[in-house]
Structure 1
């Protein structure tokens, strides 16, 4: 089900400092659970029942999976938060308005369960809903349809009394008062939830599901981008979109790979919102559970780690496949996911077969991943220059095997179907990395400088991983392609032109937190056409237009 002390971190690497004008401005500090307690400074890790058990949940099942986290060694590696999802309560509150535990399912109650988990060295998470009813129509914390008192403060105090550490707050059945938009109603509700948790006297991490209720396809619309821009003021992590496909006992062999790719798809463009205390959440890890091969399990763990995503399992822990358990317990992958810089990786090259992602790390290393989308084994080669490391030698550690080799030209290997290769690169004798790769707009489409529209024209086209889509970010706010600069041209169109020295009118750009790429002199935003170029049509050029309110056609994902 769709489930930030926001750190004001600068772009810390020297390469990012080189591209300072393009780095999103540091966000204002957001609220924390008790006013000054930093929460979730690295992505949360743990277990939740929903994607495996759904409502078939009880005390024995939670305890068994908690015990398995400990006995498997996963808890000691960081998987320490055990969360009970929907359906744990009775259908009505008591006479005082409190939530009532279903004692047929949880005979010892929730305070006991929290104590049991804490005794195991684990944390206790619980589910509620910001609307009047949960998604399965149990009592929610929000105001009833038509208006009335909410239960945010009461429920937060009750959770605090049970020593809850983590609250997953869903967004079903949320009433929109007259005169408020849906987006405004969700912002009001989740701000109220955050305030109630802060005022409860106990620090509790908040997983906010608000963005998931506004998703419209992979790139999303205006309201989705608005919600993504404010949700970090309320919670430390948030679900942006659709659920991961749940396990079906009646058809256990049904593939769930397309669901993993779908959730990766909407999450991969949103790195500008992530950082210590704020995490994009593409939903649960199902690696090692039915429906994924070992290669697909490795891919999910690897891609989630590259995206600094929460590592929250939703499976029967004792029944994980050996391959899935090995991927989930890989300490090199866990260290990547938990890197203290908290910078989400970006897609720097993609086509129908491969995605290449790069993630800057706190100690100056760079992580690189290659996803093989195809159903056949493929040879891969990633030139170091194509990921911003020019005239350079690196120690490349294969994060699956742990083997390290010196590389001075390209990362190479053979990749199984649906598998993902991962390396951690330690440069030596290198200039600082230069952010290099795709400029993505309107989803899996790329700003492209090689076309038949006109000399210097820039269009939006399908991504090919070609050199005509390989941009670099440089000093003076410049965005370069093949030695030329993205420039405000005649009329509203943008073009590629010779780069002038220093900061120059028409060639200096600023990438805002909301994704807008702003030309500094005019204050206008780079704007995508309605559709990418096709082979049989004259492509519409990228243009400048007045910056709108979280316009989807003015949101851009840049290389890192």
Structure 2
């Protein structure tokens, strides 16, 4: 939804959130250019130079890649925003305070380049930094260290005069004034950036990098969660973490797979923040570029599509492999990424070998992806009831080869090493509405993820945090009655602040029994009767006995973006 509306939403009930997830939403019309126009109603698509060229960028390379987007047909399929990253300017501003284009690199200037792109029905993107210097130490838009005037408004007007459509705003070298926290300083800076762009007289999509400067591992710290929660008030998409591994021309065969998995890893838990006009961005697509196999390229495209992530290439487009180009240009995967409901897919089952993701779609279909993390060919078998489709017959379309088949019980197939299968499931008439089913993930040891587990314990009814296995003892369903169920029992408030599995109560008694739960947008799960939040146990300094109170989930007062109170739920 548009960021200007999103901030005013109240906490929703579990039933309301589930209805939002499962009810179809109409496709949005292409907006007209007004100051109140909601931008980026679907994830942006295009190209950026950084992960392939870094600072070795110039007008000829930008033009060549823009022309290649058109020639390959990728532009016509939606890859239409061409963005120049850092190092395009000189090291100092002019006497009036304006940014100066490096004319050795860009002899025709930026207004000319914007016109060139627009003439080819492409959009023009440019890089700046919210700090005083960019990451490569060119002039930034922010205040100098120690304080002083910023250049947010001036730079926004300059970009508007060049007819820029998209601004990537990095966060290096940002001054933190005395008396403010780093998180507060970034919030102030990015709000200033957003205001400057709004006041510039031209609609420009803002890609905000603020969260990336707070990332601490996969699950993150409190400030990281705070920044991700407010950044959508400023921009339409945001980088939450580390950069994708850049191409190394001296060692072009170096694998980049672990980098893809790392960026997927931190992004996969953040679906609650995504929706039309707001997108989690795990960084560039490098599918088809050196460092990924054909299967790995398919995996990146498939996983990014399931996560409603921006499809922004960073490669030499003319040198993409045929397999990579086929994956990037797959119209079914593009349609999945661009689904107008804008709901990010969720990991409903994970273990050391497989991740299974599910994504509700605008027309009532459900997309499912299975990632094979292993280095070997694997057979897969996924019962439909584990995807929330109980007693249902579906038409399952393989989005890689276009083949469809009718299924009434189990999705099966074979996946190559590091490959990801993606299917679109269309329920037949008479199917019951899908029920969100799968794991409830939260903070595990350190900053990694773990899963709420209700069976592998010695304590009767105990619910603990355990390594995610995808087993039945971690397969929860989210009821429209605000219950959280596992194996027919309900998650309940127990004695001494612990939670437990107990027989489910009916109707109005559910709240009194401590079995009514409301998910908040920040990831907290509130037990309605007490107003307390579900809290993961603190990482133990030494091993503890399974099922002991030290390992069990409990209810504690709700904090401010506490990482042990943030949960990723099935959809």
Q: Which band: TM-score by shorter chain?
A: over 0.9
Alignment pair present for 1:48 and 2:59: no
**Quick one: which of 506, 521, 543 aligns to 2:554?**
543
Shift of residue 16 of structure 1? 6.3
- 1:147-179 CA distance string (max 9 Å, x none): 000000000000000000000000000000000
- 1:327-346 CA distance string (max 9 Å, x none): 00000000000000000000
Alignment pair present for 1:517 and 2:494: no
Q: What does residue 27 of structure 2 align with?
A: none
Residue 520 to residue 508, structure 1, CA distance change in 2 (3 Å):
same
Alignment of 1:53-72 (within 5 A): 53-72=53-72
Alignment pair present for 1:481 and 2:486: yes
Unaligned segments of structure 1, at least 5 residues: 24-31
Cα distance between partner residues in 2 of 1:375 and 1:183: 40
Q: Is the 8 A contact 1:6 1:276 kept in 2?
A: no
Shift of residue 464 of structure 1? 0.7
SS class of match (1:475):
coil
Q: What does residue 431 of structure 1 align with?
A: 432
Alignment of 1:301-340 (within 5 A): 301-340=301-340
Q: How many residues align?
A: 545
SS class of match (1:477):
coil
- 1:177-206 CA distance string (max 9 Å, x none): 000000000000000000000000000000
Q: What does residue 209 of structure 1 align with?
A: 209
Cα distance between partner residues in 1 of 2:515 and 2:48: 48
Q: Is the 8 A contact 1:101 1:109 kept in 2?
A: yes
- 1:303-330 CA distance string (max 9 Å, x none): 0000000000000000000000000000
Q: What does residue 468 of structure 1 align with?
A: 473
Alignment pair present for 1:135 and 2:135: yes
Cα distance between partner residues in 1 of 2:165 and 2:80: 11
SS class of match (1:421):
strand
Q: Is the 8 A contact 2:457 2:464 kept in 1?
A: no
Scaled by the length of structure 2, the TM-score of the pair is 0.93
Q: Is the 8 A contact 2:35 2:202 kept in 1?
A: no
Cα distance between partner residues in 2 of 1:88 and 1:279: 26
Q: What does residue 531 of structure 1 align with?
A: 539
Q: Is the 8 A contact 1:219 1:552 kept in 2?
A: yes
Q: What does residue 441 of structure 1 align with?
A: 442
Alignment pair present for 1:148 and 2:148: yes
Q: What does residue 376 of structure 1 align with?
A: 376
Cα distance between partner residues in 2 of 1:75 and 1:351: 37
Q: What does residue 497 of structure 1 align with?
A: 502
Shift of residue 537 of structure 1? 3.3
SS class of match (1:356):
strand
Shift of residue 477 of structure 1? 0.8
Shift of residue 38 of structure 1? 1.2
Q: What does residue 113 of structure 1 align with?
A: 113
Unaligned segments of structure 2, at least 5 residues: 23-31
Cα distance between partner residues in 1 of 2:19 and 2:465: 25
RMSD: 1.9
Shift of residue 530 of structure 1? 1.9
Q: Is the 8 A contact 2:15 2:480 kept in 1?
A: no
Alignment pair present for 1:82 and 2:93: no
Shift of residue 145 of structure 1? 0.1
Q: Is the 8 A contact 2:128 2:168 kept in 1?
A: yes
Shift of residue 406 of structure 1? 0.2
- 1:401-424 CA distance string (max 9 Å, x none): 111100001110000000000000
- 1:428-484 CA distance string (max 9 Å, x none): 131000000000001431000013331100000001110000000002210000000
Q: What does residue 563 of structure 2 align with?
A: 552
Q: What does residue 356 of structure 2 align with?
A: 356
